[in-house]
């Protein structure tokens, strides 16, 4: 029955020029970190998004750890984050000895519910995570205003958001510090990698020391000191020059990749629009001021049973659909160490039970996109419309 090739959820976009960029670097032998490839990629990101300070790091997770370390987040401090997010946002906080405090999201934005955030604020609240699901920016003004009023730092988790905007601002440029991820599943990828972003010069100076094992090697590289030395706390979050070369090559295709992803995203929206009734099916909510980057396409179905049945059937018919995320507050670690439990965040739980992602990647052909749509419509008729 299934003679057509399986359409995976995503597929890394590696082109011959990427292979050549890495080969050329290796042939040249200049693989020392913070070399020309890293500098060029950092400058390209800084120019493209108007973000003054960009440091390439080993992952978005490490970019967040870098921000929390540079802010001096420590035991006793609390950081507010959605439970509806990727696990390493929470582990970064735990690693500082600080306490992750989950807050509820709201529909249809899937952004933090600011009334719930306010309920969870205490004198120990030091930072909050501004998160954009699917590379779709929601109005950040309420969260940014709240944080400013209460003297709370904003870490913007733009891991999925390179090339997306809200109004005239790029995502990644909204928080006091932010990250992009270059994990191979993201729009621009170099296997593993990330960027730490900030407009705050003092913070960038602290971060560059932490990133380089507590040394002032960056000052040395800029010619500001004649040797570099141990000057503070640190770790090693430096991206290798080899990854930097791959990243630089990928970044040259950012516009083309975003355009293709958005064509597919818009095709799915258009092709499923007639099924959207708010109850059996809800399509991604995109505010008028938001320009997404097509990172992923999701739908919300009626309930978990429908979602799981549809997911199984789609896979059996060659369409790599999947769910996203497992709520953090009801995970084994959180129930054991943070005292949260299933039932605490009903909107988060409902969204996680109903959310289904469909395949989306730049190399997907129009025929494959039509196969996804056709198969989805079949499976939806079969499972979702039962009384
Ligand atoms: C991918 C992702 C991360 C982690 O990125 P890494 O580069 O793998 O550390 C964090 N937050 C969100 C929302 C992500 O999608």
pLDDT digits (tens, 9 = 90+) for 184-220: 999 999 999 999 999 999 999 999 999 999 999 999 9
Joined together, the tokens standing for residue 72 give: 């001096």
- Asked if 79 and 228 touch (Cβ cutoff 8 Å), the reply is no
pLDDT, one tens digit per residue, over 89-104 is: 999 999 999 999 999 9
- In whole angstroms, give the CA distance from residue 380 to residue 376: 6
pLDDT at residue number 306: 97
Task: List residues bridging with 56 in a β-sheet.
Answer: 195
What mean pLDDT do residues 374-381 have?
A: 97
Ligand 1 atom at minimal distance to the Cα of residue 185: 1
- Asked if 194 and 61 touch (Cβ cutoff 8 Å), the reply is yes
Ligand 1 atom at minimal distance to the Cα of residue 193: 7
Task: Tell me which of 84, 86, 105, 324 to substitute to probe ligand 1's pocket, judged by most ligand atoms within 8 Å of the beta carbon.
Answer: 86
- In whole angstroms, give the CA distance from residue 266 to residue 361: 13
In this structure, which residue's CA is closest to atom 3 in ligand 1?
A: 159
Q: Is the dihedral of CA 132, 260, 352, 299 positive or negative?
A: positive
Residue 227: which residues within 8 A CB-CB, separation 6 or more? Answer: 220
Task: Tell me which of 55, 82, 88 to substitute to probe ligand 1's pocket, judged by most ligand atoms within 8 Å of the beta carbon.
Answer: 88
| Separation of CA 161 from chain center | 6
Ligand 1 binding site (Cβ under 6 Å of any ligand atom)? 59-61, 85-86, 88-89, 157, 159-160, 181, 183, 194
**Parallel, antiparallel, or unpaired: how do β-strands 99-103 and 355-358 relate?**
unpaired
- Asked if 156 and 174 touch (Cβ cutoff 8 Å), the reply is yes
What mean pLDDT do residues 362-380 have?
A: 98
pLDDT at residue number 387: 66
Question: CB 76: neighbour CB atoms within 10 A?
Answer: 10
Residue 183 Cα to ligand 1 midpoint, Å, equals: 7
Judged against a pLDDT cut of 60, whether residue 2 lies above it is answered with no
- In whole angstroms, give the CA distance from residue 261 to residue 267: 10
Give the SS3 label for residue 131.
strand
Global pTM reads 0.97
**Parallel, antiparallel, or unpaired: how do β-strands 355-358 and 297-301 relate?**
antiparallel
């Amino acid at each position: 029955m299934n003679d057509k090739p399986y359409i995976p959820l995503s597929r890394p976009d590696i082109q011959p020029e990427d292979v050549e960029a890495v080969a050329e670097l290796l042939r040249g032998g200049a693989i020392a970190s913070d070399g020309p490839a890293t500098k060029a990629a950092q400058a390209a990101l800084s120019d493209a998004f108007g973000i003054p300070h960009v440091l390439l790091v080993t992952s978005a997770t490490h970019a967040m750890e870098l921000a929390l370390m540079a802010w001096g987040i420590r035991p006793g401090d609390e950081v507010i984050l959605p439970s509806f997010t990727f696990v390493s946002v929470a582990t970064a906080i735990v690693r500082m000895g600080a306490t992750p405090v989950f807050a509820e999201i709201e529909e249809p934005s899937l952004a933090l519910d600011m009334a719930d955030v306010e309920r969870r604020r205490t004198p120990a609240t030091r930072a909050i995570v501004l998160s954009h699901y699917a590379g779709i920016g929601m109005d950040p003004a309420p969260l940014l205003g709240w944080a400013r009023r209460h003297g709370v730092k904003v870490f913007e988790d733009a891991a999925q958001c390179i090339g997306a905007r809200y109004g005239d601002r790029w995502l990644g440029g909204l928080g006091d510090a932010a990250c992009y991820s270059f994990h191979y599943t993201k729009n621009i990828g170099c296997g593993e990698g990330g960027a730490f972003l900030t407009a705050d010069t003092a913070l960038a100076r602290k971060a560059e020391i932490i990133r380089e094992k507590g040394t002032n090697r960056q000052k040395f590289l800029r010619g500001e000191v004649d040797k570099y030395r141990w000057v503070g706390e640190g770790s090693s979050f430096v991206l290798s020059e080899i990854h930097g070369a791959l990243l630089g090559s990928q970044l040259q295709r950012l516009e083309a990749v975003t355009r293709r992803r958005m064509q597919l995203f818009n095709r799915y929206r258009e092709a499923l629009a007639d099924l959207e009734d708010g109850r059996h099916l809800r399509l991604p909510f995109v505010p008028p001021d938001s320009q997404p980057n097509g990172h992923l396409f999701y739908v919300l179905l009626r309930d978990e049973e429908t979602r799981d049945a549809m997911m199984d059937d789609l896979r059996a018919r060659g369409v790599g659909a999947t769910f996203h995320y497992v709520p953090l507050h009801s995970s084994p670690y959180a129930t054991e160490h943070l005292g949260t439990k299933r039932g605490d965040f009903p909107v988060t739980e409902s969204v996680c039970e109903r959310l289904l992602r469909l395949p989306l990647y730049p190399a997907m052909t129009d025929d494959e996109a039509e196969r996804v749509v056709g198969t989805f419509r079949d499976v939806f008729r079969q499972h979702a419309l039962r009384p």
